[in-house]
């Protein structure tokens, strides 16, 4: 399924965590809100995790860095 919003917008929405909520759960909700499905979630969370692993950042820091990249 194709997302109705940009990666940056979805990551920024996901970073607006609710209390006691993980980044992954927030990301899943943001993706579904914009017409995405589980495949879109897997693609995006894998990208964030891989970026974080390479740059030695946690998920939130990696998402913040990716959302500001072109």
What is the rounded CA–CA span in Å between residue 49 and residue 3?
20
Tell me which residue has tokens 């500001």.
Answer: 68
Mean pLDDT, residues 41-56:
97
Say what the pTM is: 0.87
Q: CB-based contacts of 69: which residues, under 8 Å, 6+ apart?
A: 8
Better-scored residue on pLDDT, 1 or 5? 5
Measure the N-to-C terminal CA separation of the chain; round to a whole number of Å: 22
């Amino acid at each position: 399924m194709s997302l109705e919003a940009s990666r940056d917008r979805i990551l920024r929405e996901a970073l607006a965590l609710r209390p006691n909520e993980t980044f992954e759960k927030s990301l899943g909700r943001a993706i579904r809100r914009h017409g995405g499905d589980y495949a879109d979630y897997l693609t995006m969370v894998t990208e964030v995790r891989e970026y974080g692993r390479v740059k030695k950042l946690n998920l939130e820091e990696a998402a913040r860095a990716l959302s500001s990249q072109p």
